[in-house]
Amino acid sequence: MDTARYCVALIVSVSMIPAVLVWTVIHPFADKWRRVGPIGAYIFIIAFVVTGTFLLWLNRDWILAYEYGLNKSLSILAAIIMCVGVLLRILWRRVLRPRTILGLPEIFGRNSSDELVTEGIYSYVRHPRYLEVGMALAAAAFFSNYLAAYIVLAAYMPLIYIVVLLEERELRDRFGKAYEEYCSRVPRFFPKIRSRKSS
């Protein structure tokens, strides 16, 4: 179990921050990446993530120096959160096309043939993918019980919020009023609780 916890903490600690940070570089400069094209953009993305991951991996010993041991209650909580995250993943995968998952609309912009996705899970929350990743990180942190995993989880929240703001600005540019209306109906992360009106 200690090996499993270490491996989970290692994967989360060395891979997640570069993977999230790369989108803070892609979204604000989407028009420039469109000129570069998808091949150039993805060469940059892969190089950025691989380099960041490798540099963190070189420092894994001190990154993973603090751990708090197996906690059964946290492990049970991690399993529950992971199950909800897997359900979210199934739901968003049903409605997103592979090209959207790969981020090609961001590269092609207005020339993209993609339409605004508002059905399925996207009729309840605007960013189920980021919510699912956050749940996976929380589950990984609770299961591994390493300080580094908790730091990554804490860093993910403000980083992904920045990514979401940048992405939404781009979606407004691409879809205009349709996206504005969608935003007014559907919350970012947590579904609205609809109460029944008493007659």
Total domain count, the chain: 1
Does 197 reside within a domain? no
Question: Mind giving me the DSSP string for 58-105?
Answer: HTHHHHT--B----HHHHHHHHHHHHHHHHHHHHHHHH--HHHHTTHH
Q: What residues contact 44, with CB distance under 8 A and at least 6 apart? A: 36
What local confidence, expressed as pLDDT, does residue 103 receive? Answer: 66
For residue 49, give the CATH number of its domain. Answer: 1.20.120
CA distance 127 to 135: 13
What interhelical angle do 177-185 and 147-175 show, nearest 10? 130
**Is residue 74, in this structure, part of any structural domain at all?**
yes
Instruction: Report the C-alpha gap between 81 and 137 in whole angstroms.
Output: 10
Are 138 and 82 within 8 A, CB to CB?
no
Write down the pLDDT at residue 142: 97
Please report how many Cα atoms fall inside a 13 Å half-sphere around the Cα of residue 194, on the Cβ side: 6
User: In this structure, is residue 193 part of a structural domain?
Assistant: no
What pLDDT, on a 0 to 100 scale, did the predictor assign at position 133? 92
Question: What is the rounded distance in angstroms from the CA atom of residue 151 to the CA atom of residue 137?
Answer: 10
Residue 144 falls inside a structural domain: yes
pLDDT, averaged in runs of 10, over the chain (199 residues) = 92 90 78 79 89 94 94 96 95 82 63 75 92 95 96 92 88 88 92 56
- Start-to-end Cα distance in the chain: 56
The residue segments making up the domain with residue 28 are 2-185
Residue 199 lies in a domain: no
Q: Let me know if residue 196 belongs to a domain.
A: no
> Hey, what's the torsion of the CAs at 37, 40, 43, 47, to 10 degrees?
-120
